[in-house]
Structure formats: C-alpha cells, structure tokens
C-alpha cells in the first residue's frame, strides 16, 4: 500500500482509501487531474456510476482546477474528500 493516500467518502456511506504516492509529502504535489484519474479507476466498478460525472470536493470546496496541486486545496495525507456524481457535477 502507498504511504501517501487520501480517503474518498461516497454515498451511501462508503469510504475508500485512494493510494497516491510513496511519501506523504508527494500527496500534496499530486494534481487534481491525477487524483480524479485514480478515483475513476477505483470507483469504476460501482453500478450506475458514470465516471465522467464525478466531482470531488474537500471541506465544501469543489476541486475544479485540474492543474492545481492538492496542496492548493489544503489536502494532505489521509484527508477525507467527498465524491459526488449524477447531479450535473
């Protein structure tokens, strides 16, 4: 398992660990786009989930700039993000 990871919470009540890197520090340098790719891969087996409609948020803020490092949103190792889909995300 990766040493650097984030948790993604999704309804109805599920939580997944998303490994991102070999170190905790590298998590902060991971871009939003890289995280979205990883999330889409991890959640691709959920019935009815159209991965193109996936939106991530952290502390109420949408992760909408794919080029930004996670550190711009205050995300670090073991941060918990929210996964939303199917609502015009």
Report residue 16's pLDDT band, with 50, 70 and 90 as the boundaries. confident
Instruction: Give this prediction's pTM.
Output: 0.79
Residue 2 pLDDT more than 60?
no
Fold of 4-84: Ubiquitin-like (UB roll) (3.10.20)
Q: Where along the chain do its domains lie?
A: 4-84
Residue 47 neighbours by CB distance under 10 Å = 4
The pLDDT tens digits for 33-84 are 899 888 888 877 666 666 566 789 999 999 999 999 999 999 999 999 998 7
User: DSSP letters of 21-43?
Assistant: ESSHHHHHHSBHHHHHHHHHHHH
Q: What is the largest CA-CA distance in the chain?
A: 34
Quick check: 51 and 32 in contact, CB under 8 A? no
Report residue 1's pLDDT band, with 50, 70 and 90 as the boundaries. very low
Quick check: 54 and 36 in contact, CB under 8 A? yes
d(CA 84, CA 63): 11
pLDDT at 89: 44
């Amino acid at each position: 398992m990766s040493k650097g990871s984030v948790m993604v919470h999704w309804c109805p009540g599920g939580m997944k660990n998303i490994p991102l890197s070999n170190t905790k520090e590298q998590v902060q340098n991971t871009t939003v786009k890289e995280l979205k790719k990883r999330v889409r891969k991890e959640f691709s087996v959920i019935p009815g989930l159209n991965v193109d409609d996936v939106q991530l948020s952290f502390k109420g803020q949408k992760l909408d700039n794919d080029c930004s490092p996670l550190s711009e949103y205050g995300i670090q190792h073991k941060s918990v993000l929210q996964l939303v889909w199917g609502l015009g995300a």
